[in-house]
A = this chain, B = another copy of it.
Amino acid sequence: MSQVYPRVALIGLGLIASSMFWAMKRRGVAGHVTGYARSAQTRDTARRIGLCDTVCDSAAEAVRDADLVVLCVPVGAMGVVAAEIGPHLKPGCTVTDVGSVKKTVIEAVAPHLPEGVQFVPGHPLAGTEHSGPESGFASLFDNRWCLLVPVEGTDPQAVETLTTYWQALGANVEVMDAEHHDLVLAVTSHTPHLIAYTMVGVADDLRRVTDSEVIKYSAAGFRDFTRIAASDPTMWRDVFLNNKEATLEILGRFTEELFALQRAIRTGDGDHLHAYFTRTRAIRRGIIEAGQDTDAPDFGRAKTER
């Protein structure tokens, strides 16, 4: 695989940025990669583990001469970072981000970018419940989707090159508009996370069932929720504050449906429950056929030899 960008700058060095770095190294996707993180401790860690070819002590220094700048900070910090790097960007370079919300990120970042710089917002749909510079790995994006959300007036060539870049990192790329992105993610990610956080919070809070009981007996279903609810709190706070509208819409639909099922339980309407539970099986089948999950029982946690 040949080089896509001679120089890439990663701003923010968490799970996504560190995975991008190892994925770039795996196939020689970039000539030279600089990195910057606000915390000195994170920069030290990055230097220690060889994350980035050069770790810089300022964002301005990191983006100098970069052909691609990737904003890998929480959604709520994007505007501040854009203001910081704006004056130091190389003319004609591409700026992208990896934020889970697109409308508010575009509003926060675009005004700070000088003319001639190409802004192509992006969102790789990949992650784990771990965070920080040491949690990254090269295959995180393999066969995952990366959504690009170009703004009006962007040079199609810049979008095309960024597409090639993400494909070289292992991802499949799709283009959609910001508003639709935010709604789709409210369904597939943001609302599920909020619900998982809520369920884990309830379990933790209950006086009549102890935490140690919840922990011991979690294999009955609960532990899948706890994995999601172990994700980075700052990232998720920012997601909900910045995708308020779509999340509240899906939450509204969710509680409506939940109340209908709750009513079926209360009135003993077994047919309603059975029909509902049968319908949801088909979606699972679709996800497995689309290669987005394993069919192995329990996500392959189970060793199924007889």
Q: A interface vs B, CB < 8 Å?
A: 22, 76, 100, 125-130, 135-140, 144-145, 147, 174, 183-185, 187-206, 208-209, 211-231, 233-234, 236-238, 240-241, 244, 247-248, 250-251, 253-255, 257-258, 261-262, 265-266, 268, 270, 273-274, 276-287, 290, 292-294, 297-306
Contacts and interface: CB of A to CB of B under 8 A. Distances in A.
Contact of A284 (B144, B226, B306): B226
Contacts of A254: 198-199, 202
A274 B188 contact: no
A262 B90 CA distance: 42
Contacts of A240: 265, 273
A16 to B, nearest CB: 13
B22 A306 contact: yes
B297 A128 contact: yes
Given A255-B258, A281-B233, A219 B139 contact: no
Contacts of A231: 277
Q: Which of A199, A241, A292 has the most CB of B within 10 A?
A: A199
13 contacts: A139-B305, A185-B217, A187-B202, A191-B199, A198-B258, A204-B280, A216-B290, A224-B225, A229-B280, A233-B274, A241-B265, A241-B273, A255-B255
Given A200-B284, A206-B253, A214-B283, 7 more contacts: A76-B270, A127-B220, A145-B217, A192-B222, A202-B253, A227-B299, A229-B284
Contacts of A281: 229-230, 233
5 interchain residue pairs of minimum CB distance: A128-B297, A189-B220, A233-B277, A230-B284, A137-B304
A248 B221 contact: no
Contact of A224 (B203, B204, B228): B228
